């Protein structure tokens, strides 16, 4: 059973809403992940944590002291990256610079910053049960009308500049529901953190994006979402 609590999540998220780093609607998107009707509720039931990836122009504007005093229990900072972790299983991550294939295509990104680029669901345990739930995500997404992309694999881990994870399954909401959902990342496997930059993988663009075919061939490495 998941220990993640939507009411506790909302209390934490409201700190960022108050500072205009998240909109109230974006906070609602995060809480909605924990609803029983969420199409991927089974994966949430075994999730270790949830992260919110926010694109921002300048990390220097973050009210760092106020955020830390809101109950932050862990932090990680690298160039263009700031992660705040909470004991309740929520992490809020801010990145400046490109983090997604969308960023490589002029006109593909239309939201004003700061905005939530994607939500992440962290499945760290590599047990047979969790592996089975993870493996079924692609079929579950297709059956529910979501588009999906697999990234990485056992012999090609997904890198996040100073970290890596075995693989990820990305799902993209059905057409017309982008205000209700955002792209969602399911990261599977133990997170490995390094002391040096090992290269980064971009978030894949939604295959249904009208400009998806314009993503440059070099779009492989830059996502900082670990």
pTM of the model: 0.90
Average pLDDT for residues 5-19, to the nearest whole number?
Answer: 95
CA 208/CA 16 separation, integer angstroms: 30
pLDDT at 162 over 60: yes
Domains, the chain? 6-214 (3.10.180.10)
DSSP assignment letter at 30: H
> Quick check: 222 pLDDT over 90?
no
**pLDDT tens, 46-92?**
999 999 999 999 999 999 999 999 999 999 998 899 999 999 999 99
Task: Point out the least confidently predicted range of 1-10, 98-107, 180-189.
Answer: 1-10
pLDDT at residue 217 in the model: 63
Q: In the block, which residue shows the tokens 């998941």?
A: 2
Q: Is the predicted pLDDT of residue 111 greater than 50, yes or no?
A: yes
23-39 pLDDT tens trace: 999 999 999 999 999 99
Task: Judge contact between 162 and 136, C-beta under 8 A.
Answer: no
| 115-123 and 184-188 beta bridge pairing | parallel
């Amino acid at each position: 059973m998941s220990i993640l609590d939507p009411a506790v999540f909302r209390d934490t998220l409201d700190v960022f809403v108050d500072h205009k780093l998240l909109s109230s609607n974006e906070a609602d998107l995060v809480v909605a992940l924990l609803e029983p009707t969420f199409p991927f509720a089974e994966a949430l039931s075994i999730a270790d944590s949830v992260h919110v990836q926010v694109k921002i122009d300048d990390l220097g504007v973050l009210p760092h002291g106020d955020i830390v005093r809101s109950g932050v229990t862990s932090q990680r900072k690298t160039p263009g990256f700031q992660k705040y972790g909470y004991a309740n299983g929520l992490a809020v991550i801010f990145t400046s610079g490109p983090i997604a294939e969308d960023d490589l295509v002029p006109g593909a990104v239309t939201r004003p910053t700061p905005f939530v680029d994607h939500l992440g669901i962290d499945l760290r345990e590599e047990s047979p049960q969790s592996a089975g739930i993870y493996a079924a995500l692609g079929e579950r997404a297709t059956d529910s009308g979501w588009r999906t992309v697999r990234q990485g694999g056992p012999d090609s881990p997904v890198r996040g500049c100073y970290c890596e994870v075995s693989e990820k399954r990305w799902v993209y909401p059905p057409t017309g529901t982008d205000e209700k959902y955002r792209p969602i990342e399911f990261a599977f496997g133990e997170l490995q953190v390094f002391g040096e930059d090992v290269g980064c993988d971009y978030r894949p663009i939604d295959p249904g994006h009208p400009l998806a075919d314009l993503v440059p061939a070099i779009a492989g490495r830059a996502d900082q979402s670990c």
